[in-house]
Amino acid sequence: MAGKFEVFQDKSGGYRFNLKAANGEVIASSESYTTKAAAHQGIASVRANAADAVIVERDS
């Protein structure tokens, strides 16, 4: 089974998404969006930008 995005309404009435791995573990969480459509646009942005994203290591 592949990972999945879950969209949900938070306690303040905004919309968020979690990216879950195949085992159900949350591996990324979004900011709060004012509309469900905006949360879906956030998911589209992650999909479009993550595939070619570079890994940058920071010093502590």
Rounded Cα–Cα distance for residues 9 and 14 (Å): 6
How large is the average pLDDT for residues 4-23? 97
Q: pLDDT of 22-56, one tens digit each?
A: 999 999 999 999 999 999 999 999 999 998 899 99
pTM score: 0.86
Rounded Cα–Cα distance for residues 43 and 15 (Å): 12
Q: Coil, strand, or helix at residue 57? A: coil
CATH fit for domain 4-50, picks 3.30.160.160, 3.40.50.2020, 3.40.1350.10, 3.30.300.20: 3.30.160.160
* Cβ atoms 41, 49 nearer than 8 A: no
Query: At residue 9, does pLDDT exceed 80?
Result: yes
| pLDDT of 60 | 80
Query: Domain ranges in the chain?
Result: 4-50
